[in-house]
A and B are shown apart, each in its own frame.
Chain A
């Protein structure tokens, strides 16, 4: 193994490889920071370039894009309250309030360092434990996925705003939206109204951009008041620097993020989007001051951002160990691996030519480049806030259009984005919140299709959902969390 790492190191420490990784990371950071552009797009864009490169160089470049985009999604989330990807939704909870206090630089500094630690920790876990974790992920059948999604849906209670009931309604709205499209089991069209674009259901991206970015622009437009101009000096640039010590001080939140990312991340199809929300939920539950979460509290940012990059390492586990990609970005990455002639699977880890170790090390290097580039850029990012409001609002919408149109070239999704924007505006205005909608939209199909798939496989028998150990465990945890939440809610309300 040590000789494997030495061989791998030799492959990574070459000028061309290092430059390729740096270039990939830079592209990932840029694409990740623009709302709507995703790491999957960055990787797809680089795929033809890797053709003809040695494996570690090509894969290293793709991993750089993955890592960069994973970290930079926090930039618009913190500065503008606009998450570019589902996994940075939770970054807005504390990142944006902190920025509104004039401490955007501090929020960015925390998120960069937390991303870095999350990425490195998950690389270590990936290199040591990938095969057993992948085996564990295989034990997830329909029953387990269903219970996992129920566990995830309980988080709605945590991210709901002032009213638990309205938060639940928002979650249900997202769940309902997810049933639009071709029915996953029978193939019957549901609520498609003969619209081709709806056959595969509502796309997550226009919904996300609409609910968060467009609704935020509408709110800003409503509140736009030229006489009350925010002074540029209120945003302190001098505090914009990476915050190593402060991040480490919140080690509990950091651990919550790393563990959630590494445990939930490897579950194909489910982990990517919810790991950071799970991390936020856990960090808040085990905090001594849960009330401070949502007000610009540092541990909130640390937990989410460390989870965000830890889940990338987690998602690489089934991709490398089984050849099963969890979501879009790793699916494109898998294409890159196959073009290179690298066959994912257990024997990849027994391979003695050092390629797999080279890939691990390349991922580590990508994290280092991410840290470096983000640290160099931090004072630049923050200047976005100094763009005059009306120009900024127009530019945000322009970028939203590119993100939504660029992914699938379908104007229908632009209308969908605007519709979700208006809906999101009212949901926020009347205390329903928009984060539960996204959770419902992501987890809804997992819950529905796996419940029905399970019932089909078990011939209509419900008991396996309660007798299979992993499934039962998730259900019990979900029930416990639900009871605790209701009790806390009840207690919080009584004195008032």
Chain B
């Protein structure tokens, strides 16, 4: 089995988050209504339950992590992480410029970066000759522009769904 520190770490995050949520919930204001439980009742109940359930998970996962031999990551792990981060970063960037740049430019740039980004991280681009590189970039650009403008047209004109102009 692969040694993964993330597993116990995620449990730890849950423990901390549930404790923080519990404390935060205890500061919620209340309005007295006959028979009503307070607004803080459920958030506190749930965060306490998460804390109780996550504790054994954390202990288990930590034990499992310590007992698993330290091994090298499988081939391509670094590339996988890079691709994962690429998608998160691009999606975040896309959200940031979505309304500011307008639909077609932001979507075209996002799509282009996604496609080219995957080619780069997987080492596909450096394997290509100069002409091949230009061709690959042109194909990605074409795909991006066609996708963005056709989607924009279909949704705003045919489906009447408003998108940032």
Would A and B touch once assembled, by the CB under 8 A criterion?
A: yes
Instruction: Give chain A's interface residues, CB within 8 Å of chain B.
Output: 31, 37, 41, 45, 163, 165-166, 168-169, 172-173, 175-176, 179, 183, 185-188, 190-191, 214, 217-218, 221-226, 389-391, 393-395, 397-399, 401-402, 405-406, 409, 411, 414-415, 418, 421-422, 426, 429-430, 448, 451-452, 455-461
Contact: B95 with A418, CB < 8 Å? yes
Instruction: Give chain B's interface residues, CB within 8 Å of chain A.
Output: 6-7, 10-11, 14, 21, 24-25, 28-31, 33-37, 39, 42-43, 46-47, 49-50, 53-54, 56-57, 61, 76, 80-81, 83-84, 86-88, 91-92, 94-95, 98-99, 107, 110-111, 114-115, 118-119, 122, 124, 143, 147-148, 151, 155, 159-164
Contact: A187 with B151, CB < 8 Å? no
Contact: B163 with A176, CB < 8 Å? no
A303 to B98, CA, bound (A): 40
A424 to B75, CA, bound (A): 25
Contact: A426 with B10, CB < 8 Å? yes
A426 to B14, CA, bound (A): 12
Contacts A406-B163, A430-B7 given; does A224 touch B122 at CB 8 Å: yes
| A-B complex: 9 closest residue pairs judged by Cβ atoms | A460-B35, A394-B114, A390-B118, A183-B39, A186-B31, A406-B161, A221-B87, A414-B95, A455-B35
Residues of B within 8 A of A394 (CB): 110-111, 114-115, 147
Nearest-CB residue, chain B, relative to A427? B10
A161 to B66, CA, bound (A): 24
Partner of B151, one of A186, A398, A452: A398
A169 to B114, CA, bound (A): 34
Partner of B37, one of A188, A225, A452: A452
Given A398-B107, A459-B35, 5 new contacts (CB under 8 A):
A173-B50, A221-B118, A225-B76, A226-B122, A394-B110
Residues of A within 8 A of B31 (CB): 186-188
Residues of A within 8 A of B148 (CB): 398
Residues of B within 8 A of A391 (CB): 115, 143
A195 to B24, CA, bound (A): 16
Residues of A within 8 A of B95 (CB): 401, 411, 414-415, 418
Residues of B within 8 A of A175 (CB): 42, 46
Which of B25, B31, B46 has the largest count of A CB atoms less than 10 A from its CB? B46
Contact: B88 with A422, CB < 8 Å? yes
19 A-B contacts (beta carbon < 8 Å): A169-B57, A172-B50, A172-B53, A173-B50, A179-B43, A179-B46, A185-B36, A186-B36, A217-B87, A225-B76, A226-B122, A226-B124, A395-B147, A397-B110, A398-B147, A405-B164, A406-B161, A414-B95, A459-B35
Contact: A169 with B163, CB < 8 Å? no
Which of A165, A169, A429, A451 has the largest count of B CB atoms less than 10 A from its CB? A169
Contact: A393 with B88, CB < 8 Å? no
Contact: B91 with A176, CB < 8 Å? no
Residues of A within 8 A of B151 (CB): 398-399, 402
Contacts A185-B33, A187-B31 given; does A402 touch B161 at CB 8 Å: yes
